[in-house]
């Protein structure tokens, strides 16, 4: 690797991360071969690499990839937020931020029109650079299963609405606030109430204090009957934020992301009501602190990778409640940080069970927790509302069901999520 491929500030050895331009063709292959054990983040034709074997964690601070795709030249409010290792014009910057600066920068980026996932926290965990295999369903997606048709028909838009309303009444679910910390207990309790009597269902919280977050994630596990070491994940994030008025102010987060969390809870309700069991293990995740750098999902996906857990696939539910008035319900498959073959298979399930329109689209101004799993080498998909015309009220006090209320569309996402678990998990 030639040194001119690395774009750094002068104090090269004092900074833990560097950006490498990967080039194209055979040159890219050679560069990747030389840096493969040090890559911690990939963005198209650029990689972020560790310059030290182990990057020391400093309490109260973190290194982040900052999405700056709106600007060719780095805005002063970004540059002044912390220590910048380097940046790629019109793409992203690598910066060290303290916790308050990360909050402030996220708010500034939101005010500039960016969406979720504009910060991604870096760690010592390296990216899996091997080609990700498209997951294979245990029940062919070309064949409709009568039991799945019956269960998807039981997905209740009113039940989803009820959970969204309940979550939206909480002042804020921001990860540092008391109500944000308690939301994981609230959600775990909801799952426990629905799973009563099932000895194969486990519900636990995942602690993230090591990642500077007091908010815990929630993991619901339905143990597989034949292949329990094979894991399918259905995720959402449980936090909310108001970047407009301040992180302690009201942030109902009806669309972002009570909608995805409520959709997954409704899927679980229907599965439990029908006594559903699967060949593979099913895990439903409620991730902490997504809004401040995908903290929960990065932590969990890193730990799963270190433990060599066999994750077959991951689908993220984040924002499905909004559409332009007068337009039909539609599911969009985000193309960034997802597996196209997997998207194609899921699209067949939309046609069979959700029976709404679908399309693929690009979401460049944000991301979500699926990116954490893709980074660790797992197949991921992100069904979403319109990626180029999504809810303009997110991250404000106005993210309510007054402004986003496409409940029949949320039910379609629920039908897709349930069908994904049934076909890829091997419904018994």
pTM of the model: 0.92
For 363, counting Cβ atoms within 10 Å of its Cβ (0-12 exposed, 13-18 middle, 19+ buried), the class is buried
Query: CA-CA distances (angstroms) from residue 185 to 178, 182, 208, 357?
Result: 12, 5, 14, 36
Same-domain status, 155 and 101 = no
**What is the pLDDT at residue 3?**
31
Q: Is residue 184 part of a domain?
A: yes
pLDDT at 182 over 80: yes
Query: What is the residue-averaged pLDDT of the chain?
Result: 93
pLDDT class for 6, splitting at 50, 70, 90?
very low
pLDDT at 4 over 60: no
Q: Which helix (H) or strand (E) holds 236?
A: strand 227-237
Same-domain status, 164 and 80 = no
**What is the pLDDT at residue 172?**
98
Same-domain status, 203 and 294 = yes
Q: Is residue 129 part of a domain?
A: no
List, for residues 370-396, the tens digit of each pLDDT value: 999 999 999 999 999 999 999 999 999
Which residue range(s) make up the domain with 100?
3-114
**What is the pLDDT at residue 10?**
39
Joined tokens for residue 159:
């039940």
**What is the pLDDT at residue 15?**
86
What domain count does the chain have?
A: 2
Give DSSP secondary structure letters for 306-373: HTT-EEEEEEE----S---TTPPPEEEEE-TTS-HHHHHHHHHHIIIII-SEEEEE---S---THHHH
List residues bridging with 381 in a β-sheet: 315
Same-domain status, 103 and 218 = no
User: What CATH number is given to the structural domain containing 303?
Assistant: 3.40.630.10
Mean pLDDT of 95-124: 88
**What is the pLDDT at residue 130?**
81
**What is the pLDDT at residue 7?**
44
pLDDT class for 5, splitting at 50, 70, 90?
very low
Distance (Å, whole) CA 37 – CA 205: 31
Same-domain status, 56 and 96 = yes
Return the SS3 of 198. coil
Same-domain status, 210 and 288 = yes
List, for residues 359-370, the tens digit of each pLDDT value: 999 998 789 999
Q: Is residue 131 part of a domain?
A: no
Distance (Å, whole) CA 347 – CA 359: 8
Return the SS3 of 77. helix
Q: What residues act catalytically? A: 237, 256, 290-291, 318, 395
Joined tokens for residue 347:
């699209």
Distance (Å, whole) CA 264 – CA 427: 17
For 328, counting Cβ atoms within 10 Å of its Cβ (0-12 exposed, 13-18 middle, 19+ buried), the class is exposed
Distance (Å, whole) CA 238 – CA 107: 19
pLDDT class for 116, splitting at 50, 70, 90?
confident
pLDDT at 197 over 90: no
Joined tokens for residue 181:
């910390």
Distance (Å, whole) CA 163 – CA 189: 13
List, for residues 410-423, the tens digit of each pLDDT value: 999 999 999 999 99
Return the SS3 of 111. helix
pLDDT class for 31, splitting at 50, 70, 90?
confident
Report angle CA 374, 79, 102 to the nearest 5 degrees: 55
% of residues, the chain, pLDDT over 90? 81
List, for residues 162-171, the tens digit of each pLDDT value: 999 999 999 9
């Amino acid at each position: 690797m030639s040194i001119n491929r690395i774009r750094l500030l002068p104090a090269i050895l004092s900074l833990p991360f560097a950006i490498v331009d990967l080039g194209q063709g055979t040159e890219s292959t050679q560069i990747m071969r030389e840096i493969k054990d040090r890559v911690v983040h990939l963005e198209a034709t650029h990689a972020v690499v560790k310059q030290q074997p182990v990057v020391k964690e400093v309490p109260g601070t973190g290194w982040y990839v900052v999405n700056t795709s709106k600007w060719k030249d780095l805005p002063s409010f970004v540059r002044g937020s912390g220590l910048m290792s380097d940046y790629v014009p019109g793409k992203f910057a690598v910066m060290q931020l303290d916790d308050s600066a990360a909050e402030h920068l996220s708010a500034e980026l939101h005010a500039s029109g960016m969406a979720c996932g504009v910060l991604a926290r870096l760690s010592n965990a390296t990216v899996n650079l091997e080609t990700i295999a498209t997951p294979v369903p245990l029940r062919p997606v070309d064949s409709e299963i009568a039991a799945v048709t019956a269960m998807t028909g039981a997905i209740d838009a009113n039940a989803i609405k009820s959970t969204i309303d309940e979550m939206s009444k909480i002042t804020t679910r921001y990860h540092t606030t008391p109500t944000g910390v308690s939301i994981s207990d609230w959600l775990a309790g909801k799952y426990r109430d629905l799973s009563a009597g099932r000895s194969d269902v486990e519900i636990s919280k995942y602690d993230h204090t090591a990642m500077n977050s007091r908010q815990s994630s929630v993991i619901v596990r339905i143990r597989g009957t034949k292949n329990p070491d094979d894991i399918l994940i259905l995720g959402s994030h449980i936090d909310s934020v108001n970047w407009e008025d301040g992180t302690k102010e009201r942030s109902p987060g009806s669309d972002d992301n009570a909608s995805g969390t409520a959709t997954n809870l409704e899927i679980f309700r229907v599965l439990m009501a029908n006594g559903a069991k699967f060949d593979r293990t099913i895990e439903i995740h409620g991730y902490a602190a997504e809004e401040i750098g995908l903290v929960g999902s990065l932590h969990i996906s890193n730990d799963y990778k270190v433990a060599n857990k066999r994750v077959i696939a991951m689908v993220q539910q984040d924002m499905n409640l909004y559409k332009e008035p007068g337009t039909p319900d539609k599911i969009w498959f985000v193309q960034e940080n997802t597996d196209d073959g997997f998207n194609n298979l899921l699209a067949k399930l939309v046609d069979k069970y959700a029976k709404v329109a679908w399309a693929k689209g690009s979401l460049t101004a944000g991301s979500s927790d699926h990116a954490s799993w893709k980074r660790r080498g797992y197949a991921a998909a992100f069904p979403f509302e319109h990626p180029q015309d999504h809810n303009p009220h997110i991250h404000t006090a106005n993210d309510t069901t007054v402004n986003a209320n496409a409940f029949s569309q949320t039910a379609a996402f629920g039908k897709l999520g349930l069908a994904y678990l049934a076909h890829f998990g091997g419904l018994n």
